[in-house]
Structure 1
Amino acid sequence: MVNIRKAKASDVEAIYSLINMYAQQGLLLPRTRDSLYENLQAICVATIDNQVVGAASLHILGKDLSEIRSLVVAEEAKGRGVGKLLVEQIVEETKKIEIKKLISLTYQVTFFEKCGFQVIEKDEMPQKVWKDCLNCSKFPTCDEIAMAIYV
């Protein structure tokens, strides 16, 4: 059974390994251990038998915009609804803090569409572009797809 909970310091190594496995494939940006510790309160993990098999974080970009970041699922847990449960948790947290728009920059368009997101133009999220994208190695030729859900 999959359990979703807030991340703990003892989860950081597992989260770090999952994120950087995907980063090595060019599917998402790498994170440092320090950045994971610094943002621990924003990270949720999925566990099966007390083992971390997935993670996602909620990043606030402004009063009306947030982002789901670093959504990862271990290979052995794929197809078990782990990713969808993590997205649902981040959507709920976004609702609780009364931010109306949650975005994702992703290559997994079909997955996010199944979670209720729609493709948007990147110019609909200037806070993201000016805050994060300018410092990204993919800027200005980012090939990720911008998606959003209104909560």
Structure 2
Amino acid sequence: MKKKKTRGKIREARVSDTHAIQEIINFYAKKGKMIPRSLSEVCENIRSYFLYEKGNEILGVCNLRVYWSDMGEVCSLAVKKKAFGRGIGSQLINKCIAEAKKVEIKKVFALTYEPDFFIKKGFVKVDKSDLPQKIWSDCIRCLKFPHCDEIALIKNLDEES
């Protein structure tokens, strides 16, 4: 039986959301599926987070990080387990892509354990060595470095109408 789409809304994060954002992200980080985020990291980047909210509950989060002049990263995509299969992750990705286009980012990338999800959104696999800024700013701090098992994907936004 297919779950029906959850009727909620996507909005920009507020400082009052920091604990909820961290809780959702770190739930998956404890399972080795994401990089953990401290409260200070979430606060410092609060303006780049988008949330999916239904009622007063945050069900999903995603971050659009501007990496360099033409590149952004879709990161920290997490949806509460009880809300899986309702299109929340797709809506958050779509919001990040729309925001990237607004600020004239040409490409967005992601590192993930769920490559098929991103491929359905038009991303293509690339070698992590194609993302040196990511490797030397973030990956180098990861416990799995240099044996990362995430898949790197990229989407060229210039190819979309």
TM-score, normalized by length of structure 2? 0.91
**Structure 2 alignment gaps of length 5 or more:** 1-6
1:34 paired residue number = 40
Cα RMSD over matched residues? Answer: 0.9
1:16-31 superposed matches below 5 A = 16-31=22-37
Amino-acid identity (%): 40
Q: Aligned equivalents of 2:56 and 2:64: distance in 1?
A: 22
Q: Aligned equivalents of 2:12 and 2:104: distance in 1?
A: 19
1:143 aligns with one of 141, 149, 154:
149
1:58 aligns with one of 60, 64, 82:
64
1:72 aligns with one of 66, 74, 78:
78
**Aligned pair 1:5/2:27, yes or no?**
no
**Aligned pair 1:107/2:113, yes or no?**
yes
Q: Deviations over 1:49-85 (max 9, x none)?
A: 2210000001111112110111000111111100000
**Count of aligned pairs:** 151
List structure 1 runs of 4+ shifted beyond 4 angstroms. none
Q: Aligned equivalents of 2:22 and 2:29: distance in 1?
A: 10
Q: CA deviation at 1:9?
A: 1.5
TM-score, normalized by length of structure 1? 0.96
2:139 aligns with one of 128, 133, 142:
133
Q: Aligned equivalents of 1:130 and 1:108: distance in 2?
A: 23
**Structure 1 alignment gaps of length 5 or more:** none
The structure whose Rg is larger is 2
Q: Aligned equivalents of 1:55 and 1:17: distance in 2?
A: 10
Q: Which amino acid aligns with 2:46?
A: L
